[in-house]
């Protein structure tokens, strides 16, 4: 499902990171490694991808997928992006998909990523845009908070933290990257049916699950019923379809 929604945006991120045959690449917050494998295919057997994540179980899935795909140029390391235990100037490029906005100290992570890049190396990071631009993600948040009567956090929800105009660009610049640019990527979230959309919303590894944990069983049922009703507006003849906007931040060391 992720590959289907985000395949084109992922390829664009790899283009912008200037991956080529033989590149040594760092993948930050690799998760289950969809983009890791795409990068590994691009750089070929003479290149390599080091996938880092705080979740060992996610990285196990990445390693397994790489093995199944016959890719021997993928390494996984359990590591916090804020404290990269990697040699300075050891990568030609870095990528990150849907992870940067979830890292508590983004500035520190950006500084660490820049440190491990060789001079001239490029970092490209794909993140979500604003809540308004992605109702599939923002509706469950709004509903869960309303039903659970949760008080507002001091800053916007993780997903949209870097989505406001200027935030991603400023972060890259503050970390010392040059030639910084932010590319807007408009896409659509499509599911065969409303039931599939709800299933994916429940399964998606986004912090929504943490938010729902704060609701009791009855509130959770009520929240999902309200989410389903709100999602109805995106159901048409061809199933569920909602707009989504992504940002790709790019900077060079
Ligand atoms: C939404 S998932 C995205 C995973 C994958 N890149 C993808 O697009 O399918 C975010 C990932 O960031 C990881 N993550 C969160 N904080 C992190 C940190 N401080 N350092 C490294 N990884 C982190 C999470 O464990 C999770 O795997």
What is the reported pTM?
A: 0.92
Domain that residue 48 falls in:
2-252
Q: Consecutive 10-residue runs of the chain (253 residues): their mean pLDDT?
A: 76 98 98 96 98 97 98 98 98 97 94 98 96 91 87 66 95 98 95 93 72 86 95 96 96 98
* DSSP string over 167-204: HHHHHHHHTT-EEEEEEEEEEEEEESSHHHHHHHHHHS
Assess whether the C-beta atom of 31 lies below 6 angstroms from ligand 1: yes
Distance of CA 1 to the CA centre of its chain: 14
Task: Please count the structural domains in the chain.
Answer: 1
Which ligand 1 atom minimizes the distance to the CA of 10?
8
Give the bridge partners for 128, in sequence order. Answer: 246
Query: Which CATH number is 60's domain given?
Result: 3.40.50.150
Assess whether the C-beta atom of 240 lies below 6 angstroms from ligand 1: no
Can you read off the two tokens belonging to residue 87?
Answer: 């040699």
CA of 45 to the centre of ligand 1 (A): 25
CA of 101 to the centre of ligand 1 (A): 9
Distance CA 185, CA 1 (A): 18
């Amino acid at each position: 499902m992720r590959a289907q929604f985000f395949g084109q945006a992922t390829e664009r991120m790899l283009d912008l990171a200037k991956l080529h045959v033989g590149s040594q690449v760092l993948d930050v917050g690799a998760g289950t490694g969809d983009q890791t494998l795409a990068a590994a295919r691009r750089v070929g057997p003479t290149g390599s991808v080091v996938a880092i994540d705080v979740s060992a179980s996610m990285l196990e899935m990445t390693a397994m997928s790489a093995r199944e795909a016959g890719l021997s140029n993928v390494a996984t390391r359990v590591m916090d992006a804020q404290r990269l235990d990697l040699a300075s100037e050891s990568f030609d490029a870095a990528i990150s998909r849907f992870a940067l906005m979830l890292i508590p100290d983004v500035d520190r992570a950006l500084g660490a990523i820049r440190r491990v890049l060789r001079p001239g190396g490029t970092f490209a990071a794909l993140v979500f845009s604003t809540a308004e631009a992605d109702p599939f993600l923002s509706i469950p948040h709004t509903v869960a908070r309303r039903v659970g009567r949760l008080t507002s956090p001091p800053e916007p929800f993780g997903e949209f933290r870097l989505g406001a105009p200027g935030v991603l660009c400023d972060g890259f610049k503050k970390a010392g990257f040059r030639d910084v640019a932010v590319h807007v990527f408009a896409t659509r979230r499509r599911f065969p049916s409303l039931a599939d959309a709800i299933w994916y919303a429940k399964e998606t590894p986004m912090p929504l699950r943490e938010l729902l944990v704060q609701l009791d069983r009855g509130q959770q049922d009520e929240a999902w019923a309200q989410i389903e009703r709100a999602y109805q507006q995106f159901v048409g003849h061809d199933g569920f379809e909602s707009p989504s906007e992504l940002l790709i931040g790019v900077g060079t060391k």
